[in-house]
């Protein structure tokens, strides 16, 4: 091979680590030896948080990710890195934010357990710096996760951070990247045009639609156009002045001002430094990271600083190992951004022609505000752009974790390990409303008292207002393991016995200070007991808002567990685990109650059988497992539960019963069965894995009807159940393996679930249709299903929407809604995708790499937005108003109901909004991201190498195909995900 000094060559082979070499003038021939890759299946170890198990010995279902796979996605948190890379894991962007193999609880916790370095992580997963992560193991079934007992019902995500190794030379890595995203597209959702909006306002005004508001004693606001129409009616302005003013307003669109003054392009920057290594008796790893995120809203920022240090020491010829880890995260959020009042007219302006901040009238009528200023009240004008400067809201959070551990080899095959963790979370949120803020001025003015001489006095001091919230969580965990490992010929056995104690306390509170002076940190006393007449309507009285609350919760758990793994010749592996958890949530008299959970599993490495034909080369693996995990709603207790409150007027204590006593309260259980098959071709060019699972929830927390004479209508206990099943498929191929390489990865997941038992039926089916099964679970449907009113089309004579009443087509909306039952309502289907996955293609050539990721979501439904007319002809509503029925025959090509000819009908609007015609499939295929990277390698002295990677990634590139008839974004509230571009570099030494 020929080359000149400075040229770099790459030598690679499937299953081995790539080797880079720089030509030098002194060397003319070299011998290269490749090392087996850590990604070879047999060498991968799955961490359960208690032990590490070789993947070929794992009987359960788990998915392993190394740091290289985690770098495929750019993001400041672990969830961003997990998106579309784990089969069965669905990131939803709404409650529940993340599921593994669907949901198997109704009111209990639905999120998977997060484990970091062997202990459950109780903080915000977004606080974990992904650059600190070495590997992630996602445990899905009972055999893999049952060791975590009652916390494993929703799956377990085990995170192992980067650490040093004994005898490792010091390694330094630094990474920095920046992501820029587009502004939100405020014009994506079609709405009524400004011109038509004003014309509709004039029509409503001429028909007397604003008369009640105009005379309302609460001074309810009227738009600028309506105020102009009133002024013309009262002969305060001429017709020419009216028309010219309205023509000027028609030229404005408030979305342009919002886009200019209140939103921005997003920007996120991240930097991380890691140093690790080790000697003969000491290993270490130190890392720090800083992230700064600027979201779309102006004056909002999110800063995070993470610090992590891991140390381990070896004594007595490595018989004793002691570890000490420290983790800290410091989080600061500034939330001074302004959420503009949503009831504004589309022609409002945030600045006037001179660029001055303009007042808008979204809370009170302009004549009243002018009068209030003359009465000596504070300026009551609402200027949105001023609020960017007048608010001061920030949130500070700190999370600390201290891990101590010791492992001692009692005998050559017997090891004792003790771990302790102390974790502390402190949070503080402050919102300081200065006296210039609208919030403070509005509250001060509302409670102003006008005396006989017409002068105001202020029960709420003429100063700022401070809202303060605090959170303080503490947890202590202690665990002891005794592990026995031995190999006798072809027989390998691993036994683990242990116990665990855990105590967690949570305390939070909120309070408000009136008359707050930030300079002196002082406040003034107000009278909460008196009812004051409101300044804007003296016949209305109210008390000064009293904001003060305290909450405290303590959970204690004691657990015993055992795990057994037996392997014969590397061909057969059998596993069994058992765990019993106890908790204080069952009350003092029953605190010995617990739940036994277990799992069994087997894996058969068929390829190691001597009778296997040479024609079936490669790796063949079959596995199966069965067992129970658990789950719990920690808000419940076997004792009576109630909210203990104090009335602000009398200061007398009172209690509101939440749930009656339930001596039979017990843990939720999740029954799992898993069956898996995997084949890897000889040479690793093709890797196919398939798993089928059954996942049923038992003894789930549900609502049941209760005798009204007891004082409650229903109680919550272990009365519900669910059933779920699914299929997961992974296919990895090496299509071209030459100087140019092409790899493909396909992830396919199918997960469905339904509620099989739920005793409390919806009293009014319309509530379940309008508020969803999130609030009203229904037996026989998915936990998050969409129901709708059956649709019978538009009336060809008048365009009215039609449904069914007693089996007949009808437009009696009130009775249709009241008469809709569980039996005759339309069950459209689940609102979460039940089929989802990704298809990634990766290309490598020399030092270049590129990947293209396509994701898909199938078999789920979304409710589309449309017009609702109300009592003002759909004023400011959805752009569907231009697709409405207007003449006979239109019903052949539109489902949008006609505009009412007289007063609006709210029942008509409700029926149309929640009719089945607006529910469409959310199925879509998306071009998720494209990533390009270049790697440079430089030879240094003492056989050290400097590796620099440069990368660029483009995300949220748009939809390739969508099922719905409108061809619009089915997720993200029907608004496209903003395009993002990331650039960065990673340096390793």
Q: Are residues 353 and 207 in the same domain?
A: yes
Average pLDDT, the chain: 88
- Confidence at residue 439, expressed as pLDDT on a 0 to 100 scale: 92
Identify whether 123 is part of a domain. yes
Q: Are residues 118 and 146 in the same domain?
A: yes
Question: Does residue 36 have a pLDDT over 50?
Answer: no
Can you give 504-522 as a three-state secondary structure string? EEEEEEEEEEEEEECCCCE
Question: Does residue 589 have a pLDDT over 70?
Answer: no
Q: Are residues 69 and 151 in the same domain?
A: yes
pLDDT band at 896; cut points 50, 70, 90: very high
> For 319-335, b where at least 16 C-beta lie within 10 A, e where not — what string?
eebebebebbbbbebeb
- Confidence at residue 453, expressed as pLDDT on a 0 to 100 scale: 82
Q: Are residues 257 and 357 in the same domain?
A: yes
- Confidence at residue 32, expressed as pLDDT on a 0 to 100 scale: 62
- Confidence at residue 617, expressed as pLDDT on a 0 to 100 scale: 80
- Confidence at residue 24, expressed as pLDDT on a 0 to 100 scale: 62
φ and ψ at residue 101, rounded to 5 degrees: 60, 45
Could you tell me the CA-to-CA distances from 630 to 113, 142, 505 in Å, in that order? Answer: 11, 10, 21
- Confidence at residue 110, expressed as pLDDT on a 0 to 100 scale: 87
- Confidence at residue 95, expressed as pLDDT on a 0 to 100 scale: 64
Provide the 10 A C-beta neighbour count for residue 708.
9
Indicate the residue among 330, 364, 381 that finishes a domain: 381
- Confidence at residue 833, expressed as pLDDT on a 0 to 100 scale: 94
Provide DSSP, 773-817: TTTS--TTS-TTEEEEB----B-TTT--B-EEETTEEE--HHHHH
Average pLDDT over residues 408-431: 94
Closest alpha carbon to 772 in 814, 825, 714, 695: 825
- Confidence at residue 37, expressed as pLDDT on a 0 to 100 scale: 44
> For 507-527, b where at least 16 C-beta lie within 10 A, e where not — what string?
eeeeebbbbbeeeeeebeebe
Ranges assigned E (strand) in 12-51: 19-22, 45-47
pLDDT band at 39; cut points 50, 70, 90: very low
- Confidence at residue 240, expressed as pLDDT on a 0 to 100 scale: 95
Q: What percent of the chain has pLDDT over 90?
A: 65
pLDDT in tens, 596-616: 899 999 999 998 888 877 777
Average pLDDT over residues 79-99: 85
Least confident of 44-48, 327-331, 601-605, 862-866: 44-48
pLDDT band at 753; cut points 50, 70, 90: very high
Q: Are residues 129 and 54 in the same domain?
A: yes
Least confident of 597-611, 699-713, 723-737, 912-926: 699-713
Number of domains in the chain: 3
Question: Does residue 160 have a pLDDT over 60?
Answer: yes
pLDDT band at 98; cut points 50, 70, 90: confident
Identify whether 244 is part of a domain. yes
Identify whether 155 is part of a domain. yes
Question: Does residue 35 have a pLDDT over 70?
Answer: no
Question: Does residue 337 have a pLDDT over 80?
Answer: no
Residue 102 sits at the vertex; the CA angle it makes with 856 and 154, to the nearest 5 degrees, is 130
- Confidence at residue 641, expressed as pLDDT on a 0 to 100 scale: 72
Identify whether 352 is part of a domain. yes
Identify whether 366 is part of a domain. yes
pLDDT band at 149; cut points 50, 70, 90: confident
pLDDT in tens, 661-682: 777 788 899 999 999 999 999 8
Indicate the residue among 381, 403, 434 that finishes a domain: 381
Provide the 10 A C-beta neighbour count for residue 312.
21
Burial bucket for residue 664 (CB in 10 Å: 0-12, 13-18, 19+):
exposed
Q: Are residues 106 and 218 in the same domain?
A: no
- Confidence at residue 955, expressed as pLDDT on a 0 to 100 scale: 94
Q: Are residues 29 and 118 in the same domain?
A: no
Average pLDDT over residues 744-768: 93
pLDDT band at 652; cut points 50, 70, 90: low
455 contacts: CB under 8 Å, gap ≥ 6: 376
pLDDT band at 42; cut points 50, 70, 90: very low
pLDDT in tens, 307-323: 999 999 999 988 999 99
pLDDT band at 40; cut points 50, 70, 90: very low
Closest alpha carbon to 382 in 372, 393, 371, 369: 369
Q: Are residues 233 and 85 in the same domain?
A: no
Domain range for 224: 194-262+342-381
508, 628 Cβ separation under 8 angstroms: no
Least confident of 233-242, 580-589, 592-601, 615-624: 580-589
pLDDT band at 342; cut points 50, 70, 90: low
Average pLDDT over residues 644-655: 61
The CATH number for 77's domain is 2.170.130.10
- Confidence at residue 785, expressed as pLDDT on a 0 to 100 scale: 93
- Confidence at residue 922, expressed as pLDDT on a 0 to 100 scale: 94
Question: Does residue 349 have a pLDDT over 70?
Answer: yes
Q: Are residues 360 and 241 in the same domain?
A: yes
SS3 call for 122: coil
Q: Are residues 148 and 253 in the same domain?
A: no
Identify whether 226 is part of a domain. yes
Question: Does residue 592 have a pLDDT over 50?
Answer: no
Q: What percent of the chain has pLDDT over 70?
A: 91
Identify whether 223 is part of a domain. yes
Identify whether 82 is part of a domain. yes
- Confidence at residue 647, expressed as pLDDT on a 0 to 100 scale: 55
- Confidence at residue 14, expressed as pLDDT on a 0 to 100 scale: 44
Task: Name the pairing type of β-strands 414-433 and 464-488.
Answer: antiparallel
Could you tell me the CA-to-CA distances from 361 to 220, 380, 548, 595, 662 in Å, in that order? Answer: 10, 10, 31, 60, 53
Q: How far apart are CA 832 and CA 818, in angstroms?
A: 28
Q: Are residues 32 and 95 in the same domain?
A: no
Q: Are residues 34 and 62 in the same domain?
A: no
pLDDT band at 43; cut points 50, 70, 90: low
Burial bucket for residue 380 (CB in 10 Å: 0-12, 13-18, 19+):
buried
- Confidence at residue 587, expressed as pLDDT on a 0 to 100 scale: 52
Question: Does residue 830 have a pLDDT over 70?
Answer: yes
Least confident of 94-103, 381-390, 415-424, 473-482: 94-103
């Amino acid at each position: 091979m020929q080359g000149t000094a400075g040229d770099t060559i790459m030598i690679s082979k499937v299953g081995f680590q790539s080797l880079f070499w720089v030509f030098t003038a002194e060397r003319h021939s070299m011998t290269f030896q490749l090392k087996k890759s850590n990604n070879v299946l047999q060498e991968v170890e799955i961490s359960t948080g208690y032990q590490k198990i070789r993947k070929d010995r794992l009987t359960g279902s788990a998915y392993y990710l190394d740091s290289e796979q985690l770098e495929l996605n750019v993001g400041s948190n672990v969830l961003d890195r997990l998106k579309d890379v784990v089969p069965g894991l669905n990131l939803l962007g709404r409650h529940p934010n993340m599921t593994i193999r669907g949901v198997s609880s109704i009111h209990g916790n639905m999120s998977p357990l997060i484990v970091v370095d062997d202990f459950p992580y109780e903080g915000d997963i977004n606080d974990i710096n992904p650059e600190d992560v070495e590997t992630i193991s996602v445990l899905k079934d009972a055999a893999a996760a049952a060791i975590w007992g009652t916390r494993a019902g929703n799956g377990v995500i085990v995170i192992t951070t980067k650490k040093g190794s004994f005898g490792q030379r010091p390694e330094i890595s630094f990474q920095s990247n920046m992501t820029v995203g587009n502004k939100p597209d405020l014009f994506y959702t079609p709405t009524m045009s400004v011109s038509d909006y004003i014309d509709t306002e004039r029509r409503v005004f001429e028909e007397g639609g604003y008369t009640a508001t105009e005379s309302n004693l609460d001074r309810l606001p009227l738009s600028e156009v309506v105020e102009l129409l009133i002024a013309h009616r009262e002969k305060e302005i001429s017709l020419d002045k009216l028309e010219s003013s309205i023509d000027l307003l028609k030229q404005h669109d408030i979305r342009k001002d919002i886009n200019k003054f209140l939103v921005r392009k997003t920007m996120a920057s991240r930097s991380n430094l890691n140093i690790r290594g080790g000697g003969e008796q000491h290993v270490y790893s130190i890392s720090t990271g800083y992230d700064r995120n600027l979201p779309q809203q102006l004056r909002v920022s999110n800063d995070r600083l993470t610090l992590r240090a891991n140390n381990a020491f070896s004594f007595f010829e490595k018989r004793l190992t002691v570890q000490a880890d420290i983790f800290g995260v410091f989080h600061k959020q500034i939330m001074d951004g302004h959420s503009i009042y949503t009831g504004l007219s589309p022609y409002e302006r945030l600045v006037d022609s001179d660029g001055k901040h303009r007042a808008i009238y979204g809370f009170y009528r302009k004549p009243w505000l002018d009068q209030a200023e003359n009465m000596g009240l504070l300026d009551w004008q609402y200027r949105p752009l001023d609020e960017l400067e007048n608010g001061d809201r920030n949130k500070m959070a700190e999370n600390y974790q201290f891990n101590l551990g010791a492992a001692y080899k009692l005998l050559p095959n017997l090891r004792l390990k003790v771990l302790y963790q102390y974790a502390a979370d402190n949070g503080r949120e402050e919102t300081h409303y200065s006296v210039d803020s609208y919030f403070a001025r509005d509250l001060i003015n509302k409670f102003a008292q006008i005396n006989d001489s017409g002068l105001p006095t202020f029960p709420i001091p003429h100063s700022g207002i401070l809202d303060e919230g605090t959170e303080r969580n503490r947890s202590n965990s202690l665990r002891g393991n005794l592990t026995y490992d031995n190999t006798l010929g072809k027989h390998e056995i691993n036994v683990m016995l242990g116990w665990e104690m855990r105590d967690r306390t949570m305390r939070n509170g909120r309070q408000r200070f009136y008359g707050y002076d930030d300079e002196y940190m002082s406040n003034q006393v107000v009278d909460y007991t008196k009812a004051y007449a409101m300044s804007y309507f003296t016949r209305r009285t109210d008390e000064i808002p009293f904001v003060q609350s305290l909450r405290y919760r303590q959970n204690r758990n004691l657990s015993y567990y055992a795990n057994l793994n037996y392997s014969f010749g590397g061909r057969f592996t059998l596993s069994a685990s058992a765990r019993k958890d106890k908790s204080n949530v069952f009350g003092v008299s029953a605190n010995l109650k617990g739940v036994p959970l277990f799992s069994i599993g087997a894996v058969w490495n068929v390829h190691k059988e001597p009778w296997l034909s040479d024609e079936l080369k490669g790796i063949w693996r079959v596995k199966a497992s069965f067992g129970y995990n658990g789950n719990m709603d920690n808000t419940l207790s076997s004792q009576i539960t109630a909210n203990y409150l104090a009335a602000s007027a009398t200061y007398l204590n009172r209690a509101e019963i939440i749930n009656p006593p339930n001596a039979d309260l017990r843990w939720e259980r999740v029954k799992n069965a898993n069956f898996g098959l995997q084949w890897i071709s000889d040479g690793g060019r093709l890797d196919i894995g398939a798993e089928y699972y059954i996942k049923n929830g038992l003894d789930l927390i549900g609502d049941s009807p209760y005798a009204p004479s007891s004082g409650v209508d229903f109680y919550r206990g272990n009365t519900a159940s669910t059933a779920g099943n699914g299929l997961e498929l992974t296919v990895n191929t090496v299509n071209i393996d030459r100087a140019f390489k092409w790899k493909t990865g396909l992830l396919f997941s199918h997960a469905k679930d339904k509620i099989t038992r739920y005793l409390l039926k919806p009293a009014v089916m319309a509530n379940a249709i309008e508020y969803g099964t999130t609030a009203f679970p229904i037996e026989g449907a998915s936990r998050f299903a969409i129901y709708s009113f059956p649709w019978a089309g538009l009336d060809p004579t008048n365009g009215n929407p039609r449904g069914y009443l007693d089996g007949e087509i009808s437009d009696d909306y009130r009775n249709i809604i009241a008469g809709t039952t569980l039996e005759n309502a339309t069950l459209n289907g689940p609102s979460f995708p039940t089929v989802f996955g990704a298809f990634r293609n990766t290309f490598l050539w020399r030092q270049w790499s590129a990947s293209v990721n396509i994701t898909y979501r199938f078999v789920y439904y979304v409710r589309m937005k449309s017009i609702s007319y109300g009592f003002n002809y759909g004023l400011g509503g959805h752009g569907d108003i231009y697709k409405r029925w207007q003449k006979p025959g239109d019903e052949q090509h539109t489902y949008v109901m006609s505009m009412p000819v007289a007063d609006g009908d709210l029942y008509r609007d409700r029926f149309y909004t929640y009719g089945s015609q607006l529910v469409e499939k959310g199925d879509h295929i998306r071009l998720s991201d494209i990533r390009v990277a270049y790697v440079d390698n430089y030879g240094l002295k003492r056989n050290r190498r400097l590796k620099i990677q440069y990368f660029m990634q483009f995300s949220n590139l748009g939809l390739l195909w969508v099922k719905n008839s409108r061809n619009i974004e089915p997720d993200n509230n029907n608004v496209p995900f903003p395009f993002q571009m990331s650039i960065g570099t990673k340096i390793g030494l």
